[in-house]
Structure 1
Amino acid sequence: MTNSVRPINTEPGLLSLAAVHKTGWQSGPVRQKGIGLVEVMIGVLIFAGGVMAVTGMQSQAIRANHDAIQRSQAVWMANAAAELMRLNPAGLPTYVRESSVASANLDAFCQGSPPYCIGTTCAADLMASFDMYGLMCSSANTMIEPKMDIQCDGSCGPTDKVRILVSWGARGSEKGVLADRQQVELRYNRN
């Protein structure tokens, strides 16, 4: 008696069950052994979209940070002007006049040399001119188009209220988000 193994599948071109197990070949869908070009392109597109989103958020953060710096500089200017006016109450009309002259043309205002006024040897008007030159010309380097408007309620007497409005140009303003100019207002009583 001869022991012969007969293939289960006897159709021509097909492997027997023993041959399938021996070679590892399986019938059915073909197994993929690598990443196709389509999958790579989809991955690259998803990655590029994520990078663009992060870049957009970064530019918004830079804009918001710049606006915060401008706003803090404006608040500093308004507070400094109020303190200088409190130290030199007789020079208030000069502060009002010099702020409008400086705001009208800051470049021309800062081109001139500041009045020399150090210590208590200066008159009130000269001290006010010196103070405004220092405030406006130092902020010209850190703010976009700074302007300061100082006004008194009444005749700038010792009991009148003073309004200080500092404004600056907004960088990268978008429609409906930021105006062309931002501003900070400070009011105080002189008494």
Structure 2
Amino acid sequence: MTGYRVTGFSMLETMVAAMVFAFGAIGATGMQILATEANHEAMYRTRAVYLATDLIERLRDNPEGLETYDSSADNLWRIVGSHSISKEPEPDCVSTSCTPQQLATHDLWAWEQVLDGKDVYREGVSATGGLPSPTGCIRYLGDGQVELAIAWFGRRSMSNAILATSCTVADRYGNQDEYRRVLYLRTYLSQ
């Protein structure tokens, strides 16, 4: 009796290999999605750090106007963002010389424009360069100390979201505080 020698793959082996490949592809796709979301979160945090640094430099350049940046005399936050300053203050402080108080008012308007993304546009879409649903808060503590907080709406919920500073606007995030991201800085500006 002559036996047959079996060569090649059986149907079962092929199905197992296809299933292993499919699970690997699904896992790789999931990792890519998570990496993209993490990249967006990092990009927003980097943008918030840039915005904080920009405002701190504006404060350092205008030490006589520090109290104007935080116009609230009750030691609460000065809150800007999401178009809270509707139009450019007069004078524009670019082509005209200004007092320190006028410069502070213009700086806040210009900073809010960048915070809201008004410095970057895409065809057919309004501002695209800022943070999503941003809130910027400034508090001058006296003696050259300034607190700055920037809050924005994150892409994913966090189970340990911080409700850190009182830098919030009522109902800005609704009941979705787990999506809030906050960058908080406290710095000393020489007087």
Report the TM-score when normalising by structure 1. Answer: 0.71
Within the alignment, does 1:90 sit opposite 2:64 as a pair? yes
**Counterpart residue type for residue 60 of structure 1:** L
Distance 1:114 1:38, change over 3 A: farther
Equivalent residue for 1:12? none
CA positional deviation for 1:46:
0.6
Equivalent residue for 1:129? 105
Structure 2 distance, partners of 1:119, 1:92, is 22
CA positional deviation for 1:60:
1.3
Equivalenced residues, count: 158
Match of 1:58 among 13, 20, 32: 32
Equivalent residue for 1:146? 134
1:169–1:180 contact (8 Å) kept in structure 2:
yes
Equivalent residue for 1:180? 179
Equivalent residue for 1:73? 47
Report sequence identity in percent: 27
Unaligned runs of 5+ in 2: 118-129, 163-177
Structure 2 distance, partners of 1:87, 1:77, is 15
Report the TM-score when normalising by structure 2. Answer: 0.71
Structure 2 distance, partners of 1:181, 1:136, is 19
Point out the structure with the larger helix share: 1
For residues 21-32 of structure 1, the aligned pairs below 5 Å read 25-26=2-3, 31-32=5-6
Point out the structure with the larger strand share: 2
Q: Deviations over 1:23-61 (max 9, x none)?
A: xx32xxx54333232222211111110011111111111
Structure 2 distance, partners of 1:119, 1:89, is 21
Equivalent residue for 1:102? 80
2:83–2:112 contact (8 Å) kept in structure 1:
no
Equivalent residue for 2:152? 168
CA positional deviation for 1:114:
5.1
Structure 1 distance, partners of 2:32, 2:107, is 38
Equivalent residue for 2:127? none
Q: Deviations over 1:117-170 (max 9, x none)?
A: 1156112222112212222211322312221111122xx4xx241111122211
Unaligned runs of 5+ in 1: 1-14, 16-24
